[in-house]
Structure formats: structure tokens, C-alpha cells
Chain A
């Protein structure tokens, strides 16, 4: 390990500009002649639009245009799409209702887009929007996840029973027979609460049209600008790909919510040509609450069958997944292929069967949010395992260990082939770090102070680095999930790396540069990472699903191999030696067994001046590209342990200790990895104890601001104990597994297992607010049989 190579805790190169306010986010861009867009949104969850009268608004000062769904239709602007086809059990394709960027005839959730006003200023646009008269015929709202199926009202005509798909995975017969032989069955009804992503930077877009070049440009807050361009071009029909540039500059957090192609950016880029001016929109926080794609929202009935020795025989899961009012870009994949294939957890489970009903409701669309399906799966399996251990009188750590998968590769009954792992090692290390041995003493000490202390485990596994393109194609994905990279070596030896990955908080500018520094033996300062602009980077699939290390960096590694191979050829000519005799080590090309050598930068110069070889012998220049398509998912896994204390008088919960031992494979920058773990845990604790989007019976979002939506705060969290175990991933050249989502995946189950341990309950719903915890503590004080809520 060098000071800045693989494994070094290098300080983030990008932080200087971020923490001194020099970052450049979409809202920091202002284009010449820029106008401002304001979206008139539906105040109703479900209504037919009888009429929209915008005449008064159009006549107001400074108004450049007022547009509705009719205008989009007249211009043949396509609907927003869902890019993953799911088939129901009976083989029928999912029922995707139309998703226009501006409502056509109906509004389907509070915050749905009714019209857009483009004006000289935001204030003028907003004033004009208030002058638009919309006549609505109200329809009953379908709100509750569990009651959507077969509700009297249909959200979309194509799905009269509100069911988008009835999907399943696994062998039902094998599971039925496992349950028939079971000695013990553990059953739980679980709700995975709906979350609002809330990145610190709200979404924003600037659309621009250059009439001379017939060229559109879209600046947008995107985790995957090339996918945005592809969708806007091929499906929505804004412009051919060669006439549309998409720029995603610094992006202030995404957590999945900026993967998707939204109405607002579509309208801005389209309206730019309509009004002949650049059109800017920046979401305010209320709009973010109402109209960013939400996360999670599952209602699940789960059963686990055990034999007489406490071994898991089978798992049966039925989930209703709320997809909201429209299918967002990847909505259908999250509660299906990103969920059920992870239900085996870290356990050897011979038979698993999972059914998922995806339903429409009159709520904001639901799509991937940090972890995307895997937190939901982990919550199901880890809550079941914990309760099963308690019900059968076994120590939860020992119960897990008994059921862990111990030999690899391991084929689960639900698609996944786990390549490598050592779950026992993570458990051992975590138990030690959490001082599990002395927990009973700490519990007694809490009890003396009138407090209830609990401990909870979460043995999570996730599938990252998604994924082999052929595999996801077979499962219904509309795209491949490889990544691209291009390494441009300048004549002076400095380097630009163009990557299709996108950094919005992950620190790619540092970790990717570390890889280059490590491989080429050059200083990290001479490496620039270029991303987020379709005019610079040819193509890429973007950043989500903890894939940028495993897939994005693998592409870079592959391109670097080509650079070194070419450098070897150049060096052979320059050093007048045979190519086979050239060695590359520590940044120098040398002739084996001699003291003749050239530094990497000298070889770069030789490649560009091209004095030592002819064009017939070798192409000048030093620039190589690569596409990397993974051969398998990667399987980060680990053990998280939460210890908490409940004040039964108030319901206040204090997290006393949180231990995370993760196996992310090879680690490039341990400091950045720890930061990712910390942030993930904070979000996971947030889901367990604080966060929850609540709609009322009419479909109004009750938690539409931070006054009612409770975000985790630094003071809510202890200093985390973070440890690592390493089994390098065998399926990619760097051994990386991915770390971005682990905390958010593992933490909710760890917290809820600890809380139910403290309270002596089997089940408490998330978020376990003080009110909910106090109620549970009241019941715990009264001797009565423990029952699931």
C-alpha cells in the first residue's frame, strides 16, 4: 500500500470545494436569458380534470408560456417510462398506466403535475400559476397499501383492481412440504414504512435549446445522466441522442431518488424550445416531499419453518408493495428482483417462496431508495430469525450461526449464487466489539435506573454491483448494467479518467484516482476523474446499487490494463528492446535485467511525439477505453448489533452502542468506506425509529415538511463501532463488493430486534416513535401474553 494507493485512507479530493461552498450544483448554473418554471400541482389525491383555464395566467406580466398535458400531447412528447418489465404469475405483463409528464385528464396524487408556467422570474411564474383555474371532479382516493387491491376505485383503467402485477419467485410445492414437516413455525406481520428520501440538495433542472445547432442541453440532478438522455431521447422523444446533451454536475445526495427520469426535467427541456429561452426549475422542500419518488412501503406476512434442531426448513413470504400513483423508472424491479432473491439472507434455507402484489395507490410514486428491496428483504428475514430464536429459547447469535451458509459457492433457492463469504467471522468480530458477553450486566444496570435495555442483531446480505447484463435482461431489465471507462493519458503524463459512474457524495474523485495512482504509479494529484456529462463521457450506466466500485472501477482497471499494455509497446521502441522484455512496476517501464528504464510520464511523451516508431508499427497516443460487464452480482454481508435503552416513562429510545462488522471485499479507501457505513446506519436508524411518510384518508401527505417528518440527527446516534472482515470478491478484478447501502440495509432490523428485546414484545411497527414505544412499554409493564400487533 502506498500513501495514496489502494487501501490508503486518503482525504477526499472533492471536499475542499464542497466544504468551502465552491461546489457547482444545478441551481448554481444560470444560463443567459434564463426563464423560470413553476409547476402547478394537484391539491387532490384523485380527480378528473374537467377544465383548465389559463387565459388570465398567460396574460400576466412576465409570463412566457403556460403549458398543460394537451400541449405535450400535441407535440407528441412521450410518457415517462418504467424500464423493467415484470410478468405476473399467469405470464401476463405488468399493467402500466400512462404516466404523462403533465396530467392528461386526471390527477392521481397530491403533487401531481397539472400545468407549468414559464416566466421571467419564479415569483411571476408562481403568481401566474395562482391565476390558473382548474375544475376538478373529485374521485375517492386509494391510499392504504393493504387495502388498495380490489378497492372500489381504480387508480388506472388498465389495472381495475389496482394490481400492477402478482409476481412470485421460488418453489411453492417445496415450501409447502417444508412447512408440513416443521416442528415450529414463526409468523410475523411486518410493515416496511414509507420513506421520503430528502437528499440535502433538492432536484433541479435547466433545459436549453440552441436553435442554430438544433441542440438541446439539460442540466439535471441525476445519478445517471446517460440513462436520462437515453430515456428522454428514445422513449420520450425530446430529441435524438446526438442532439441532446445531459449534464449532471455536482449532485448533493441522491439515495436513489435521482436515478429516475422525472416530469419536471422532461418539461424544462421541452419548454426551452417552446419559449426559446433556457428554462430553470429548482424544487423547494415541499415539492421534494410531495413529488420525489418515495421508498419502501411494503406490507408483509412472513412465515418461517424450523425443524426440531432449530434449523430453518423453509420460508414463505407474501408482500404487498405500494408503487404509488405511477410506475417510476425502476419501480417494478425494487419489490421483485431486488427483494425476493435476498430473502435467503446469510442462511442455508432449502425452500423459499415469495409472492409480491405490486399495487397502485393515489400516493407519490415509490421507487429505489438506499438499499432498494434489500433492506425490505433483510428486515423480513432478520426479524423472523430473531423471533424464531426467542420463541424456541435459543440465543439469537447461536441460532444464526447454526443456520449460516458455510460453504461457497452457494446456490440459494431464489436465483442468487453467493460466491464467497465468512459469516461466522463477522459474527465473532461483532460479538467481541459489542461486548455481548457483558450485555446482561449492562441490562441489570439499566433496570436499576428504571430503564429497559435491549440488544438486537442483523446478519444482512445484499446483492450489489448490479449486474451481469445478460442476467438482468432475462429478468426484464430494459438496459444492460455494465460500466464504461476511458483513460486519457496526456503527453506530460497527467491523466483524465472518464467514467460512466456518477459521484453524488460517494467520493469517486478520490477512490477512482487512488486506483489509477496505484496501478500506474503516478501521484494522485495528477489524476482527474471526469463524470456527469454526456458530451465528455461516451456512455455509462450511472451510480446506484453500490455498483460504482465493483463495476465502475473494474471498467477503469480494465482500461488501465490496456494503457499499460500500450505503454509497454511504446517503451519497447523507446528503450530499443523487445516488448516481451519490458516490465512495468512502480510507475516505471524497464528492460528486464538491465538498468534501462523510463518513467510512466516519459513513456506517455514518447507515445505522443512518436519519434521512435512508425505509424505502420504503432498508433501514436495513449488513450484506452473499456466496457466492463460483471459476471455475477457481488455479495457484501456483515453483522450489525444495536444496543439501546428505553425510558418507559416517556418512550424515548437512546441508542447506546451500534456495532457494524462488514465484509465489503477489497477496500480502496477505508475512511470513505466507514463514512458510507456511518451514513447508511444513520438512515437505517432513521427508518426504524424516526422516519415515516403518512398520508391521511384523503391522500393528503401529513408529513410534508420537517415539522412532521422526523429526520435522524447527529445527536440521536452514538459513535459507531465499525470493523471489517475481508473475503475478496472473486468475480471482479479488484475484489470489491460495494459498501454504499449496507448500513441502511442492516440497521432497521438490528434496531427493531433490540427494541423488541428491550420491551419483551415480538413486534412493534416502524417508525417506533416515542408514542409507539411508550404504548408498547405500558403493555410490557402489565403481565399478559405477548402478541404480535
Chain B
């Protein structure tokens, strides 16, 4: 790790002014991506702005139509939240599948969506549920927010403050873990929403999280795992690596999607 200045603002306003002032500043939330990268000397920000002591960024709020989670809420808190369990059990289960207990008690939803790792779990939930990413400047629909590998719609100096998830009729998340890292090798989030059905896939796409249109169409006709029989996810634009080539990932998308639909219908 190279030397850097550490800042711990008490308010969002203070954080924003620090970010605006320092050219080579990095925002740190739970630090589970940035800190290891810094330790390996692959990232070298001059200033680290820690959002960990801004109380306004933590918490879960439930209204009749949505669950809104503050950016600095940990995966563990989401997994344990009675409100999330009741309103969107699939989201609570997703949070419980992230990493291990140590990761879940440091890592945050804001950090996850700001980083947009192609193997992260939350982006699948955001896209399938039609979430809104709330920032210091605006509200961005998930559709427009995730832009590719580690790419988002965030502008310089813009900070994610929360994520709002509309409550679906039914939803489920199925994840096949990378055997080594335990990130999603393929994760499929299926949501039956009041207006439509969405199937979002993480871990597999060369450009990050994406929606599987053919599956959505098939499920729109009938929301049943059987509707996906024989349907193959396209293997182009999928990640191929040591653990899974594109063909295997394409196959797993189908398996995980069917299992997710099955789990959702059994709720």
C-alpha cells in the first residue's frame, strides 16, 4: 500500500466537498474491493474518503411499494432485516449468499453497486426488480445505471446514497458459485413484478449484468420453470475463464433461471 490521506466525514455534504476538492480521491465504503487492490499496489489514491461514519447513509426503510436501503447498509444487515425478509425475501437471501460472514458485516450495498463487479450479486437484483439507484445528485433507474464491466452512470464526485427496490409479487435468486472465489459464476434473479417479468443474469456477461429477454418472453406467457425448457441462453458475450467457459456459463444460466422460477413459484 502506498501512503494516502484518510478522511472520515460525518455528513454527506462534507464527503461531497472533500471529493470535489481532491483530484485523486477515492471513496471507500466497506472496502472489500478497494483495500485489497490498494494493498496489492494496484490502486494508489492520494485521498481515501470513508463513508463509514455518515449515519444518514445507513438503514432500511419499507413503504407499501418499495424497500429502500441506505448505501452504507451492510450485506449482513440486509440479510437479517425482518422488513426485507417479509417484503422481498429473495433480496434477503441474495445478501446472505454474498461472501462469508466477515465480508457480509463489512461490505455494503452502495459499495457493490458503485463498483459494479461483473460477478457481484446485487446488480442482478437491481436490474430484475427494477430498482432505482439514488445518488447525491439524482435518481437513476437500474436499466440506465449499469453500463458495463465496472462501469456505471455515476459521474465524477457523485456518491450513491441508497437503492430503492419496488416490491415484486414473487422473486427468487439462484447462484452457482465460482468454486474458488465464491463470487457468482452465474447468478440469476427472477422477478414477477406487477407490470412484467424480469430475468437478470450476473457473473456471466462480458459487459456485466444483463437481462435475458428470451426467458422473460417465455415466462410472460406462463410463469413456470417448464416455460424455460429447451431455452438456451446465448453463449456469445459471455465470460470464459479457468472456471467456466462461455458454453458452460450459458448452460448454467438456463439451469439457474429454471431453479429460480421454481423457487419463486413455490413461495
Binding site for B on A (CB under 8 A): 123, 126-127, 286, 649-652, 690, 694, 702-703, 706-711, 769-771, 774-775
Closest 5 A/B residue pairs (Cβ): A710-B180, A707-B181, A710-B179, A649-B255, A708-B180
Assuming A650-B176, A706-B180, what are 16 further A-B pairs, CB within 8 angstroms? A123-B1, A127-B2, A650-B252, A650-B255, A690-B179, A694-B242, A702-B242, A703-B180, A707-B181, A708-B180, A710-B180, A769-B179, A770-B179, A770-B243, A771-B244, A771-B248
Considering the chains assembled together, what is the distance between the CA atoms of A705 and B138 in angstroms? 39
Task: Decide if A774 touches B181 in the complex (CB within 8 Å).
Answer: no
B24 at the interface (CB under 8 A from A): no
Residues of B with C-beta under 8 A to A710:
179-180
Known: A649-B255, A774-B248. A769 touches B243 (CB 8 A): yes
B196 at the interface (CB under 8 A from A): no
Q: Which of B40, B176, B248 has the most CB of A within 10 A?
A: B248
Residues of A with C-beta under 8 A to B179:
690, 710, 769-770
Distance of B110 from chain A, by nearest CB (Å)? 23
Q: Mark B71-92, 1 if CB is under 8 A from A, else 0.
A: 0000000000000000000000
Residues of A with C-beta under 8 A to B1:
123
Residues of A with C-beta under 8 A to B251:
774
Q: In chain A, what residue has the closest Cβ to B259?
A: A649
Return 22 A-B CB contacts under 8 Å, by A number.
A649-B255, A650-B252, A650-B255, A652-B176, A690-B179, A702-B242, A703-B242, A707-B181, A708-B180, A708-B242, A708-B243, A709-B180, A711-B180, A769-B179, A770-B179, A770-B185, A770-B243, A771-B244, A771-B245, A774-B248, A774-B251, A775-B248
Within B109-129, the residues touching A (CB, 8 Å) are: none
Considering the chains assembled together, what is the distance between the CA atoms of A774 and B243 in angstroms? 12
Q: Which of B185, B242, B243 has the most CB of A within 10 A?
A: B242
Task: Decide if B180 touches A707 in the complex (CB within 8 Å).
Answer: yes
Task: Decide if B181 touches A706 in the complex (CB within 8 Å).
Answer: yes
Residues of B with C-beta under 8 A to A652:
176
Distance of A610 from chain B, by nearest CB (Å)? 61
Within B38-80, the residues touching A (CB, 8 Å) are: 40-41
Q: In chain B, what residue has the closest Cβ to A703?
A: B242
Distance of B257 from chain A, by nearest CB (Å)? 12
Considering the chains assembled together, what is the distance between the CA atoms of A702 and B248 in angstroms? 20
Distance of B181 from chain A, by nearest CB (Å)? 4
Q: In chain B, what residue has the closest Cβ to A649?
A: B255
Q: In chain A, what residue has the closest Cβ to B186?
A: A650
Q: In chain A, what residue has the closest Cβ to B176?
A: A650
Considering the chains assembled together, what is the distance between the CA atoms of A541 and B243 in angstroms? 41
Q: Which of A649, A652, A690, A711 has the most CB of B within 10 A?
A: A649
Number of chain B residues whose Cβ lies closer than 8 Å to a Cβ of chain A: 17
Residues of A with C-beta under 8 A to B244:
770-771
Distance of B127 from chain A, by nearest CB (Å)? 23
Residues of A with C-beta under 8 A to B176:
650, 652, 770
Residues of B with C-beta under 8 A to A694:
242
Task: Decide if B243 touches A771 in the complex (CB within 8 Å).
Answer: yes
Distance of B184 from chain A, by nearest CB (Å)? 13
Q: In chain B, what residue has the closest Cβ to A710?
A: B180
Residues of A with C-beta under 8 A to B252:
650
Considering the chains assembled together, what is the distance between the CA atoms of A319 and B238 in angstroms? 38
Considering the chains assembled together, what is the distance between the CA atoms of A279 and B180 in angstroms? 35
Distance of A667 from chain B, by nearest CB (Å)? 35
Considering the chains assembled together, what is the distance between the CA atoms of A517 and B233 in angstroms? 67
Residues of B with C-beta under 8 A to A126:
41
Distance of A198 from chain B, by nearest CB (Å)? 12
Residues of B with C-beta under 8 A to A770:
176, 179, 185, 243-244
Considering the chains assembled together, what is the distance between the CA atoms of A775 and B244 in angstroms? 11
Distance of A375 from chain B, by nearest CB (Å)? 21
Considering the chains assembled together, what is the distance between the CA atoms of A47 and B263 in angstroms? 55
Considering the chains assembled together, what is the distance between the CA atoms of A123 and B115 in angstroms? 27
Distance of A720 from chain B, by nearest CB (Å)? 21
Considering the chains assembled together, what is the distance between the CA atoms of A164 and B185 in angstroms? 41
Residues of B with C-beta under 8 A to A774:
248, 251
Distance of A754 from chain B, by nearest CB (Å)? 18
Considering the chains assembled together, what is the distance between the CA atoms of A438 and B99 in angstroms? 38
Considering the chains assembled together, what is the distance between the CA atoms of A711 and B244 in angstroms? 17
Considering the chains assembled together, what is the distance between the CA atoms of A694 and B241 in angstroms? 12
Distance of A427 from chain B, by nearest CB (Å)? 33
Considering the chains assembled together, what is the distance between the CA atoms of A706 and B100 in angstroms? 14
| Among B40, B181, B245, B248, contact of A708 (Cβ-Cβ < 8 Å) | B181
Residues of B with C-beta under 8 A to A775:
248
Residues of B with C-beta under 8 A to A123:
1
Within B218-266, the residues touching A (CB, 8 Å) are: 242-245, 248, 251-252, 255
Distance of A457 from chain B, by nearest CB (Å)? 26
Q: In chain B, what residue has the closest Cβ to A651?
A: B248
Residues of B with C-beta under 8 A to A703:
180, 242
Considering the chains assembled together, what is the distance between the CA atoms of A710 and B244 in angstroms? 14
Considering the chains assembled together, what is the distance between the CA atoms of A708 and B244 in angstroms? 12
Residues of A with C-beta under 8 A to B180:
703, 706-711
Considering the chains assembled together, what is the distance between the CA atoms of A618 and B41 in angstroms? 68
Considering the chains assembled together, what is the distance between the CA atoms of A770 and B256 in angstroms? 14
Distance of A543 from chain B, by nearest CB (Å)? 30
Residues of A with C-beta under 8 A to B243:
708, 769-771
Distance of A678 from chain B, by nearest CB (Å)? 21
Residues of B with C-beta under 8 A to A707:
180-181
Considering the chains assembled together, what is the distance between the CA atoms of A286 and B242 in angstroms? 18
Distance of B202 from chain A, by nearest CB (Å)? 16
Considering the chains assembled together, what is the distance between the CA atoms of A694 and B41 in angstroms? 24
Considering the chains assembled together, what is the distance between the CA atoms of A556 and B133 in angstroms? 69
Residues of A with C-beta under 8 A to B245:
771
Distance of B118 from chain A, by nearest CB (Å)? 14
Considering the chains assembled together, what is the distance between the CA atoms of A771 and B252 in angstroms? 10
Residues of A with C-beta under 8 A to B185:
770
Considering the chains assembled together, what is the distance between the CA atoms of A126 and B38 in angstroms? 14
Distance of A752 from chain B, by nearest CB (Å)? 17
Q: In chain B, what residue has the closest Cβ to A123?
A: B1
Q: In chain B, what residue has the closest Cβ to A772?
A: B248
Distance of A277 from chain B, by nearest CB (Å)? 24
Distance of A301 from chain B, by nearest CB (Å)? 26
Distance of B172 from chain A, by nearest CB (Å)? 16
Q: In chain B, what residue has the closest Cβ to A767?
A: B179
Residues of A with C-beta under 8 A to B242:
694, 702-703, 708
Considering the chains assembled together, what is the distance between the CA atoms of A127 and B251 in angstroms? 46
Residues of A with C-beta under 8 A to B40:
286
Considering the chains assembled together, what is the distance between the CA atoms of A726 and B180 in angstroms? 39
Q: In chain A, what residue has the closest Cβ to B180?
A: A710
Distance of B163 from chain A, by nearest CB (Å)? 26
Q: Which of B2, B176, B179, B243 has the most CB of A within 10 A?
A: B179
Residues of A with C-beta under 8 A to B2:
127
Within B1-56, the residues touching A (CB, 8 Å) are: 1-2, 40-41
Distance of A688 from chain B, by nearest CB (Å)? 13
Residues of A with C-beta under 8 A to B181:
706-708
Considering the chains assembled together, what is the distance between the CA atoms of A619 and B158 in angstroms? 85
Considering the chains assembled together, what is the distance between the CA atoms of A649 and B229 in angstroms? 13
Considering the chains assembled together, what is the distance between the CA atoms of A649 and B251 in angstroms? 8
Distance of A566 from chain B, by nearest CB (Å)? 56
Distance of B76 from chain A, by nearest CB (Å)? 19
Distance of A23 from chain B, by nearest CB (Å)? 21
Q: In chain B, what residue has the closest Cβ to A770?
A: B179
Q: In chain A, what residue has the closest Cβ to B245?
A: A771
